[in-house]
Amino acid sequence: MKGKILILDDNKSVLTALEMLLQTEFDEVYTLKNPNTLISTIQAHHIDIVLLDMNFKTGVNNGNEGIFWLNQIQKCDPLISVIMITAYGDVELAVKAVKHGAFDFILKPWDNNKLISTLIASLKLRKSKVENASLLKTTHTLKQELKPSAQSFIGQSPPIKRVMDMLRKVAITDANILITGENGTGKELIAKEIHRHSKRKREIMLTVDMGAISETLFESELFGHTQGSFTDAKTNRVGKFEAAKNGTLFLDEIGNLSLTLQSKMLSCLQNRSIVPLGSNTQIPINIRLITATNKDLSGMISNDLFREDLLYRINTITIDIPPLRDRGNDILLIAEFYLSKYSNKYEKYGLKINRKAMQKLLKYKWPGNVRELQHTMEKAVILADDKVLNEDSFSLSDHPDKLKKDLHNTTIGEMEKEMIKANILKENGNISTVAKNLGISRQALYNKLSKYGIRDLKSSKLSL
């Protein structure tokens, strides 16, 4: 708890005695005989505590000087702990100083043990104030960084207009929302739009990828834990449910939860409270819950893979995002958006897409949806040699007719598996790059590799 203390008193013997007493109790001890350099000393040395005499001028004992300099200190740094030094007959003045914001007062002659105890208490208060101020500043910064951007979900097609109409109706409520749709359709963007139009828009929105959380870390990540609750739990940790207080919690890939974890999630939502790991204290939660999945939860319920009661809890309202292939000219709107974005990023200004290239983009079925279109546009911008992007600027692997046929006979999981395999081959097994290309975390990618049995990443032939 050692800190820095400044002693201000016009009596040299008082300064010497206090300096000798406190030099082993504090990291640094500073002394002043007059207040002329008081504020500059505080600023230069980042003082934690000031021991301040009530009077400095000979024959003047009204304590006004002490009150004046107390106010100046508080203007300089309102978190500093100030303790007044006063003679026995000036107790009433010292009490007045406490009312003006001083931590306490010390009577001359002082008791050493009582003085040190008072200083330790004042230093604890100072440290607590500094930590709280830092926490508030950090929280404000996080809220600003995590605040959804003003960029709306791009699209003018009838399917997207229906989605946006429903979004605006449900956003102003606190109803739990389930967002469904294929991978890459923009479920997280929709979640951000809901938050941006909600009554909680000034608060934080936290996103958790449920596919990236292992069973062993689930409770700690979402509910928090106490110090010593398990190996390496060296400090208390706030879980996502508590951290998102008064805001929005977005749980992506909710369909990846095991039945055991689904049960824990259900209990939390039913009770509207959490119990941190290692604690017996229930903490009430106040969040807006949004979940998302690319899985058929109704089908999973039929196969005893998802709890029906949990589904009822999370889908008061369901918003289904249409695949990009069903959105018509939205493809071109999104392509133009990413063309502008990556033209600026890579300083290739003035790029255009010619008519034949537009037709190629419209005919393609986009199995990877918006995410695939985004990566396609970035690649085209990077490799562009001319100002005009033509058909050859876009290497779209599957022929539209073949893909249409394949889509009727291929599950979403199989398509995802093929996308992962193709990216691994393309990036020579570089997991970080593959995860970035797919727009998921490394842990989520590892989970999918395990799920689909993909191994031998550096081989030209992937094991299945």
Among residues 54, 43, 45, the alpha carbon closest in space to that of 8 is found at: 54
Mean pLDDT of 178-188: 94
Number of Cβ within 10 Å of residue 454's Cβ equals: 17
Rounded to whole angstroms, how far apart are CA atoms 454 and 245? 39
Rounded to whole angstroms, how far apart are CA atoms 251 and 258? 14
Same domain, 83 and 120: yes
- Residue 405 within any structural domain of the chain: no
Token code pair at residue 367: 């199995």
pLDDT, residue 248, reads: 95
pLDDT, residue 464, reads: 33
Q: Is the predicted pLDDT of residue 378 greater than 90, yes or no? A: yes
Domain limit, last residue, from 320, 342, 369: 320
pLDDT, residue 129, reads: 85
Mean pLDDT of 358-363: 95
Q: Is the predicted pLDDT of residue 293 greater than 90, yes or no? A: yes
Residue with token string 């889509």: 407
Q: Is the predicted pLDDT of residue 149 greater than 80, yes or no? A: no
Token code pair at residue 316: 């008061």
Out of 118-127, 201-210, 333-342, 443-452, least confident range: 443-452
Same domain, 106 and 209: no
Which residue would you say has higher pLDDT here, 236 or 320?
320
Rounded to whole angstroms, how far apart are CA atoms 320 and 159? 10
* Sign of the four-CA dihedral 433, 436, 438, 442: positive
Look up the CATH number of the domain holding residue 370.
Answer: 1.10.8.60
pLDDT, residue 50, reads: 94
pLDDT, residue 462, reads: 44
Same domain, 97 and 125: yes
Q: Which of the 8 DSSP states describes residue 463? A: B
Q: Where are the beta strands (DSSP E) in 9-91?
A: 28-32, 49-53, 81-87
pLDDT, residue 152, reads: 64
Same domain, 129 and 165: no
pLDDT, residue 340, reads: 93
- Residue 153 within any structural domain of the chain: no
Domain limit, last residue, from 342, 363, 396: 396
pLDDT, residue 411, reads: 67
Cα distance from N-terminal residue to C-terminal residue, the chain? 58
Rounded to whole angstroms, how far apart are CA atoms 452 and 454? 6
Q: Is the predicted pLDDT of residue 144 greater than 80, yes or no? A: no
Rounded to whole angstroms, how far apart are CA atoms 352 and 456? 41
Same domain, 207 and 289: yes
Look up the CATH number of the domain holding residue 50.
Answer: 3.40.50.2300
Cα 247 from chain centroid (whole Å) = 11
Q: Is the predicted pLDDT of residue 6 greater than 80, yes or no? A: yes
pLDDT digits (tens, 9 = 90+) for 425-437: 777 788 888 888 8
Out of 41-55, 89-103, 177-191, least confident range: 89-103
* DSSP labels, 176-187: -EEEE--TTS-H
Same domain, 312 and 221: yes
Cα angle value 90/119/47 (rounded, 5°): 100
Look up the CATH number of the domain holding residue 415.
Answer: 1.10.10.60
Mean pLDDT of 145-158: 69
Look up the CATH number of the domain holding residue 199.
Answer: 3.40.50.300
What's the residue count for the chain? 464
Mean pLDDT of 128-154: 67
Mean pLDDT of 93-107: 83
Among residues 150, 163, 183, the alpha carbon closest in space to that of 374 is found at: 183
Query: Which residues make beta-bridge pairs with 106?
Result: 85
Quote the mean pLDDT of the chain.
Answer: 85
Domain count, the chain: 4
pLDDT, residue 459, reads: 47
> If pLDDT is split at 50, 70 and 90, which confidence band does 409 have?
low
- 385-388 long-range Cβ contacts below 8 angstroms, 24+ apart: 387/350, 387/351, 387/352, 388/351, 388/352, 388/353, 388/354
Query: Which residues make beta-bridge pairs with 249?
Result: 206, 289
Domain limit, last residue, from 301, 320, 339: 320
pLDDT, residue 162, reads: 94
Mean pLDDT of 369-387: 93
Same domain, 232 and 202: yes
Token code pair at residue 194: 């809901």
For the chain, the 3-state helix, strand and coil shares in percent, each to the nearest 5, are 50, 15, 35
Percent of the chain with pLDDT over 70: 88
Same domain, 252 and 386: no
Same domain, 16 and 108: yes
pLDDT, residue 444, reads: 84
- Residue 146 within any structural domain of the chain: no
Q: Is the predicted pLDDT of residue 460 greater than 60, yes or no? A: no
Same domain, 298 and 223: yes
- Residue 150 within any structural domain of the chain: no
Out of 120-134, 148-162, 270-284, least confident range: 148-162
Q: Provide the 3-class DSSP secondary structure of residue 86.
A: strand
- Residue 145 within any structural domain of the chain: no
- Residue 253 within any structural domain of the chain: yes
Q: Is the predicted pLDDT of residue 362 greater than 80, yes or no? A: yes
Same domain, 54 and 166: no
> How many Cα atoms are found within 13 Å in the side-chain-facing hemisphere of 179?
30
Q: Is the predicted pLDDT of residue 351 greater than 70, yes or no? A: yes
| Element containing residue 114 per DSSP (H, E) | helix 112-146
pLDDT, residue 457, reads: 60
Pairing of strands 205-209, 317-320: unpaired
* Residue 417 vs residues 245, 267, 300, 413: alpha-carbon distances, Å: 37, 33, 19, 6
> If pLDDT is split at 50, 70 and 90, which confidence band does 404 have?
very low
- Residue 147 within any structural domain of the chain: no
- For the chain, give the longest Cα–Cα distance: 101
Which residue would you say has higher pLDDT here, 50 or 67?
50
Rounded to whole angstroms, how far apart are CA atoms 416 and 413? 5
Q: In this structure, what is the dihedral angle of CA atoms 173, 177, 181, 185, given to the nearest 10 degrees?
A: 50
Residue 333 belongs to domain spanning: 324-396
Out of 59-68, 75-84, 440-449, least confident range: 59-68
Same domain, 14 and 120: yes
Q: Is the pTM of this model over 0.85?
A: no
Rounded to whole angstroms, how far apart are CA atoms 351 and 381? 8
> If pLDDT is split at 50, 70 and 90, which confidence band does 400 have?
very low
Which residue would you say has higher pLDDT here, 74 or 461?
74
Rounded to whole angstroms, how far apart are CA atoms 3 and 336? 58
- Residue 142 within any structural domain of the chain: no
